[in-house]
Structures are given as C-alpha cells and as structure tokens.
Amino acid sequence: MSFGRIWVLLLFVALAAYPFLPLAEANRGEQFTVLFIYAILALGLNVVMGYAGLLHLGIAAFFGIGAYTVGILTVPFLPFQQSFLVAALAAVAASAAVGIAVTAPILRLRGDYFALVTLGLGLITLYAIRNLDAITEGTKGMNPIEAGPVPGIPDTVDMSPLRLRPDWGFRWYKYPYLYFLSLGTLALVMLLLRNLEKSRLGRAWVALREDELASACMGLNPARLKLAAVALGAGLAGLAGAFYAMALRTTGNPQAYDFTLSIIMVCCVILGGLGNRSGVLLGTFILMGFDRIITNILDNELQALQQRLDLNWGGQAYTKVSGWKLMIFGTVLILMMRFRPEGLLPEARHQRELHPEVGEAQGEAAAQREAGETPSENA
C-alpha cells in the first residue's frame, strides 16, 4: 500500500485517538466534529460533480433539508420527538426524495441548465425555510435539538470517569459520542464510495461524464444514472445536515444553508481533486479547517501579540486574520487553478489528461504490470 492511500487510514486512526490524548480539548473536538460533517457533505457533492460530472450549485439546500428534518422530528415544541437515529434516517430519505422529485423533470437538460436549476433550488429552499415560520421558526432556527442517539439509550451517558484530564469540560461525555459517531459515519461513507467507484454503477457514471451520446449507444440509461447520482448526493448531504443540527443542538440561522455554503463546497471538491475521495476529504479539511479553526487560532495569537507589544489596533475587521479570510480563500483558489487545476490529489484520469507525460508513464507501468501477470504475444 502506497503512502498516497495509507495517509487516509492514518488520519482516521489519529482522529479516533485524539479525544484520549493529553492535548485534547472539548472545544477543538466539537470543531473537528463539524469538519467531519462538512466532509460528508463534500463527498455527497462529489458523487454528483466528480462521478457523474454534473455541476451542482445547490447542495446546501439538501444540507438544510436534512438539518430541518432532524429539527422538526426532535424539538420539544413539536409533537414528534423522535430519537436521532430515526430523525437522521428520515433526513436522508427526505433529502433524496426532494433530490429525485426536483431532478426528474430536468434530466434531459444538459450542462449549464442543470446547474441553473440546482442554483434555483438552493435559493427557494432557503427562502422556504426562512418564511415557513410555523414549522421552522423562521430566522431563529429550531432549538434545542437534544435527542438521544437511539431509542432506549439515554443521551446523558456520563463518561466523565473515562476522561484523562479534568479540564475537558462538563460536556466532555457528550462530545465524544457525536465526535465518534460523525467520524465513524465519515469512514463508512468513504468505504461505501470506494466500493461504488469500482462497481458497474461507478464505471457507468464515468462513461456518462465522458460522453453522454456514446454512453447511450453502449446501452446505458443516462436519465436513470443521473438520477441515481443526484439521489445519492442529496442523501449524503441530508445525512450531513442531520449531524450538523445534532452537533450544534440547533438548526441555527437559515443563513448557514445559503448559496455561499454551496459554493464553498464546490471549492472544497475542486481544491481537493474532483472525483477523488481522499482529495475531497483533504480539500474539506483544509478549506473548512482554515475557515473554522485556523483563523480563530491566528486571531487569538495576534491578539495576544498585540497585548504583549502594548499595541491597540482596536477591533476592526482588517486587524484580524478572519477579516481577510475571503481574500485568502480567493487568492488560494486562483493560484490553484493556475498551477494545479487538477486539485491537490487529482483523480487518476484527470491527472493523465492534464499531464499526459505523467499519465503516459503511469500507463506504461500499468501495461508492463499487466503484461507481467498475463504474458501475451503482443506485449
């Protein structure tokens, strides 16, 4: 196994060990949990964009539908009050169903039109959430969301005796449960997608992405293949939304599910490597990690530095790293597109197309390997 593949495994092991390390902090753990959730969302988007080759600009809508499904099914002021497991399954089903219902009529549209419809869906969903006060509480968000994990298991299992440091906070017992659950789910999603890529369906998506007409001539049903990709992508996004609402204990402001999130997710997928699972994981961890964790650390460091040097810059946005966040985002993306358009960890096919010389070498090596295994008169 090469390093390119083993690093993902090492990363998961390290993250699973993190809560037990002396340097672990409850807050950091909660931030990591949100990263795992965004990674599930990005992997869902990658099914639609990377595998099936459809530009999807409204993935946040399904994230929102997932979060609000959990909200509706668990908050105390509505009559349902289900456990998280039930709510999460319902969230996946609801998102996939909306994905299918919205996409089915537009399957014959190609290219830009599909992107436009998904863009519109994202906006409509956001406005619907904002204005359906009676169900969604409008801009206040639904809270508190405090369902137990599975029916019958209380959500307040006190794991405090297990903690290695006393200052991990009174919520420590709660965060590893969501932490491990999100991490485990992310790992499962990665495994599922790995198998999917190698399946008949996975290869059919690649062919469809390459050439729709030729695929039809080969006996592939383009409409059904696209629908499968959209449904799976939406389902994963809904799952991520369900975890998100649980992790935050509220659906939060509907703003969290707007167009910006859709675009940032597109950036994560492209930065990491369109179509490459590990790349998408890395891209999400880098972009969202920078957004959610690193800027905060840098802000604090900068603040401390100012105090030590006795400077008073005031609280203006331009004196904080977070104020420059979008500028840094944009610059990085422009530089990426210029120097490494295939992403940090490119999908093998992409790499071979954009850098034929590398691809040829890989191809030759593969041919020689195959020739070694099955000697043939022509090789």
Partner 1 sequence: MSAASPLLVVENLEAGYGPINVLHRLSLTVHVGEIVTIIGANGAGKTTTLNTICGLVKARTGRIVFNGHDLTQLPPHNIVRLGLAQSPEGRKIFPRLTVRENLEMGAYTRTDPEGVAADIQKWYKMFPILEKRKSQLGGLLSGGEQQMLAIARALMARPKLLLLDEPSLGLAPQVVVQIFAVIQELNRQGVSVLLVEQNARMALKIAHRGYVLETGRITGTDRADLLLHDPRIRQAYLGE
How far apart CA 237 and CA 241 sit, in angstroms, is 6
Taking the least distance from each CB to partner 1, the nearer of 310 and 377 is 377
How far apart CA 318 and CA 120 sit, in angstroms, is 34
How far apart CA 142 and CA 253 sit, in angstroms, is 9
How far apart CA 160 and CA 165 sit, in angstroms, is 10
> What is the residue type of 28?
R
Taking the least distance from each CB to partner 1, the nearer of 106 and 207 is 207
Taking the least distance from each CB to partner 1, the nearer of 158 and 360 is 360
Cis before 19? omega within 30: no
At closest approach, how far in Å is the CB of 372 from partner 1?
12
Taking the least distance from each CB to partner 1, the nearer of 158 and 364 is 364
At closest approach, how far in Å is the CB of 348 from partner 1?
9
At closest approach, how far in Å is the CB of 324 from partner 1?
38
Cβ-contact 344, 273 below 8 angstroms: yes
Taking the least distance from each CB to partner 1, the nearer of 140 and 224 is 224
At closest approach, how far in Å is the CB of 258 from partner 1?
34
Angle at which helix 259-272 crosses helix 277-289, to 10 degrees, equals 130
At closest approach, how far in Å is the CB of 8 from partner 1?
24
Angle at which helix 59-74 crosses helix 222-248, to 10 degrees, equals 50
At closest approach, how far in Å is the CB of 224 from partner 1?
9
Length of the chain equals 379
At closest approach, how far in Å is the CB of 146 from partner 1?
48
How far apart CA 244 and CA 141 sit, in angstroms, is 13
Among the listed residues 36, 25, 16, 5, the one whose alpha carbon sits nearest the alpha carbon of residue 242: 36
Tokens of 342: 């295939």
Taking the least distance from each CB to partner 1, the nearer of 56 and 352 is 352
At closest approach, how far in Å is the CB of 131 from partner 1?
40
Helices (H), the chain: 3-17, 26-46, 59-74, 84-103, 112-131, 133-136, 175-198, 200-210, 212-217, 222-248, 259-272, 277-289, 295-309, 325-339, 348-354, 356-373
Taking the least distance from each CB to partner 1, the nearer of 277 and 320 is 277
Which residues are at the interface with partner 1 (CB under 8 A)?
A: 200, 203-204, 206-207, 210-211, 213-221, 349-350, 352-353, 356, 359-360, 363-364, 366-367, 370, 376, 378-379
Q: Please give the full DSSP string across 24-43, using - where no structure is assigned.
A: --HHHHHHHHHHHHHHHHHH
Taking the least distance from each CB to partner 1, the nearer of 215 and 284 is 215
